[in-house]
């Protein structure tokens, strides 16, 4: 299981019921869980759209069918699981899918884990339960054996290919939002160049400085696509952390689509002009 496959499963509404997200940081795991929740519940064709009522509520933590559970005390006790269980079995309020994220799940007590497994055995329809823990080994084997595992690569410990443990790979992975295919392209291109381009582009937009854009026009559309994909990943992270600009992300997404037909220079000019009109704010 990897992020790309899981995202594809969400888009085609073929997700399983029970997942363990482990490795990486809790923030990465949460961001990806919310990303999936938005895809599952978004009503627009371009999912997630970040602006329909459902996407907005998920971003602000107010969606009645999306739950984030974390231990109230040092451990996640049965009382918390039972209270959650009640809400999960209640009829859906508005979302198509109920998505539950249980964080620091390695602090779950055994009775809590057993109560959780009861729900997993008879899940209500259209329910996705995600358990998030840094170390999956610390979860009860009964929990582990029932879930599909998604591993978030540790920074510096790429799982398969030789050389992935290099700092360059670590940086490429961060820039790609954990998408391995994109990370590989970024690594080939040079992560430092990507960071530099994004930094300069954001500064030119913030200063509304059209001339500063000139040195930023990539020759190849592939290169432009790489920069814009990494920029979109960055903006998406900022939106989920509630500091980002949704219109800016949508403009970047449209620019990416436009790259299929138009040349990169034109696409980036049009994108910059749109961002200028938005007041140059592409996040905080």
* Radius of gyration in angstroms for the set of CA atoms belonging to the chain, rounded to a whole number: 20
Q: What are phi and psi of 175, to 5 degrees?
A: -65, -30
Q: How far is the CB of 144 from Zn ion (least distance, A)?
A: 33
User: Is the four-CA dihedral 176, 177, 179, 184 of positive or negative sign?
Assistant: positive
52 binds Zn ion (CB under 5 A): yes
Angle, in degrees to the nearest 10, between helices 264-277 and 191-206? 40
Residues in contact with 273: Cβ distance below 8 Å, sequence separation at least 6, in sequence order: none
Q: How far is the CB of 11 from Zn ion (least distance, A)?
A: 13
Distances 44 to 11, 36, 53, 92 between C-alpha atoms, Å: 12, 14, 11, 19
Nearer to Zn ion, 42 or 131 (CB): 42
15, 20, 34, 49: which one binds Zn ion (CB under 5 A): 49
Q: How far is the CB of 214 from Zn ion (least distance, A)?
A: 36
**CA pair distance 125, 37, nearest whole angstrom:** 15
Q: How far is the CB of 228 from Zn ion (least distance, A)?
A: 21
Nearer to Zn ion, 47 or 134 (CB): 47
34 binds Zn ion (CB under 5 A): no
55 binds Zn ion (CB under 5 A): yes
195 binds Zn ion (CB under 5 A): no
Q: How far is the CB of 44 from Zn ion (least distance, A)?
A: 5
What are 190's two structure tokens? 């040079």
Residue 140: CB atoms within 10 A of its CB come to 17
Residues in contact with 262: Cβ distance below 8 Å, sequence separation at least 6, in sequence order: none
37 binds Zn ion (CB under 5 A): no
250 binds Zn ion (CB under 5 A): no
Q: How far is the CB of 43 from Zn ion (least distance, A)?
A: 6
Nearer to Zn ion, 54 or 176 (CB): 54
39 binds Zn ion (CB under 5 A): no
Please give the DSSP secondary-structure letter assigned to residue 48: -
Which of these segments, 36-44, 131-139, 220-228, 263-271, binds Zn ion (CB under 5 A)? Answer: 36-44
CB 123 within 8 A of CB 97: no
249 binds Zn ion (CB under 5 A): no
Q: How far is the CB of 39 from Zn ion (least distance, A)?
A: 9
**CA pair distance 212, 205, nearest whole angstrom:** 9
Residues in contact with 252: Cβ distance below 8 Å, sequence separation at least 6, in sequence order: 228, 231, 232, 235, 271
58 binds Zn ion (CB under 5 A): no
42, 130, 133, 259: which one binds Zn ion (CB under 5 A): 42
**CA pair distance 194, 198, nearest whole angstrom:** 6
40 binds Zn ion (CB under 5 A): no
Nearer to Zn ion, 55 or 205 (CB): 55
Q: How far is the CB of 127 from Zn ion (least distance, A)?
A: 20
Nearer to Zn ion, 59 or 264 (CB): 59
Interface contacts to Zn ion, rule CB under 5 A: 42, 44, 49, 52, 55
């Amino acid at each position: 299981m990897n992020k790309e496959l899981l995202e594809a499963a969400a888009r085609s509404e073929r997700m399983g019921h029970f997942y363990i997200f482990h490795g990486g940081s809790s923030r990465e795991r949460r961001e990806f869980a919310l990303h999936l929740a938005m895809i599952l519940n978004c009503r627009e064709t371009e999912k997630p759209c970040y602006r329909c009522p459902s996407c907005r509520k998920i971003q602000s933590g107010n969606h009645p069918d999306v739950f984030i559970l974390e231990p109230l005390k040092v451990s996640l006790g049965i009382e918390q699981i039972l209270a959650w269980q009640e809400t999960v079995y209640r009829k859906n309020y508005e979302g198509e899918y109920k998505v539950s994220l249980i964080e620091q799940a390695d602090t779950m007590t055994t009775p809590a884990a057993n109560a959780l497994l009861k729900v997993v055995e008879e899940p209500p329809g259209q329910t996705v339960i995600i358990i998030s823990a840094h170390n999956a080994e610390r979860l009860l084997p009964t929990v582990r054996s029932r879930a599909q595992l998604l591993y978030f690569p540790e920074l510096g410990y790429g799982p398969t290919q030789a050389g992935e443990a290099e700092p360059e790979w670590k940086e490429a992975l961060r820039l790609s939002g954990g998408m391995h295919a994109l990370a590989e392209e970024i690594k080939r291109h040079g992560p430092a160049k990507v960071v530099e381009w994004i930094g300069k582009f954001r500064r030119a937009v913030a200063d509304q400085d059209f001339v500063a854009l000139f040195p930023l026009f990539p020759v190849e559309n592939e290169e432009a696509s790489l920069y814009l994909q990494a920029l979109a990943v960055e903006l998406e992270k900022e939106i989920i952390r509630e500091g980002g600009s949704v219109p800016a992300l949508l403009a970047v997404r449209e620019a990416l689509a436009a790259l299929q037909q138009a040349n990169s220079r034109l696409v980036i000019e049009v994108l910059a002009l749109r961002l200028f009109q938005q007041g140059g704010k592409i996040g905080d």
